Amino acid sequence: MVETGIEGVCYWPAYFDASAQRALVGAVSAVVDAAPFFTPRMPRTGKPFSVRMTNCGPLGWVSDKTSYRYQPCHPETGAPWPPMPDALLALWDDVAAVGAPAEACLINHYPAGARMGLHQDRDEAEFAAPVVSVSLGDSAVFRLGGTVRGGKTTSLRLKSGDVIVFGGPARLIYHGIDRVLSGSSTLLAGGGRYNLTLRRVTPLTGNAAKEAP
């Protein structure tokens, strides 16, 4: 693990080696076969995101003209989300430090030119568990701010196989993707970047709640 200088933000460069990255891309492809990528839209305005997304796990995050929310089924097919790959379950157990499983893995596909503005992950009912993020494919410039919009920000270049975790005092930091560095990786056949974000959605209970940071 590499120190980031931001309390609550932990960074593991090359957590997944080349072989593990290829295996994880294969697992993501199987998820996409069962739950195809869809284009989310902003609440109220209906403006489309520049990324496409899907999910795996018991719950999935969606966005449309009505709201941001979690739900147990794909918004277009109506089918339940496919299960989370074993490698992601093992990652969560290794780095999340909570005695309860992740419930959602949001998969964002960033094509060339896509970005994600600064935002907080705050649609969950549980903030004691961290957000665990995996990068696959092209590198990206990841921007981190504070817990209040408009504060000082720093940037970090995330490469394929990297893992970043933010929790504790950093659980509600503003963060986003400034740009994707097109052509920096050959991992994805069509180019671009996958970001896999694991989250706990519902409240921790029992010992997990007592032991949470």
Contact 149, 14 (CB under 8 A): no
**H or E segment to which residue 134 belongs:** strand 131-137
Whole domain around residue 199: which residue ranges?
Answer: 2-211
Contact 163, 132 (CB under 8 A): yes
The enclosing domain of 113 has a CATH number of: 2.60.120.590
Chain centroid to CA 176: 11
Per-residue confidence (pLDDT) for residue 213, from 0 to 100 = 66
For the chain, what is the domain count? Answer: 1
pLDDT per residue, tens digit, the chain (213 aa), is 887 888 999 999 999 999 999 999 999 999 999 999 999 999 999 999 999 999 999 999 999 999 999 999 999 999 999 999 999 999 999 999 999 999 999 999 999 999 999 999 999 999 999 999 999 999 999 999 999 998 899 999 999 999 999 999 999 999 999 999 999 999 999 999 999 999 999 998 876 665 666
Per-residue confidence (pLDDT) for residue 210, from 0 to 100 = 53
Per-residue confidence (pLDDT) for residue 163, from 0 to 100 = 98
pTM to 2 decimals? Answer: 0.95
Two tokens at 3? 């120190």
Tell me how many helices (H) and strands (E) the chain has: 3, 13
Distance in angstroms (rounded) separating the CA atoms of residues 53 and 51: 7
Helix, strand, coil percentages (3-state) for the chain, rounded to 5, are: 15, 35, 50
Two tokens at 166? 């933010």
Per-residue confidence (pLDDT) for residue 205, from 0 to 100 = 82
Residue with tokens 């990786």: 185
Per-residue confidence (pLDDT) for residue 3, from 0 to 100 = 79
User: Looking at residue 98, what DSSP letter applies?
Assistant: -
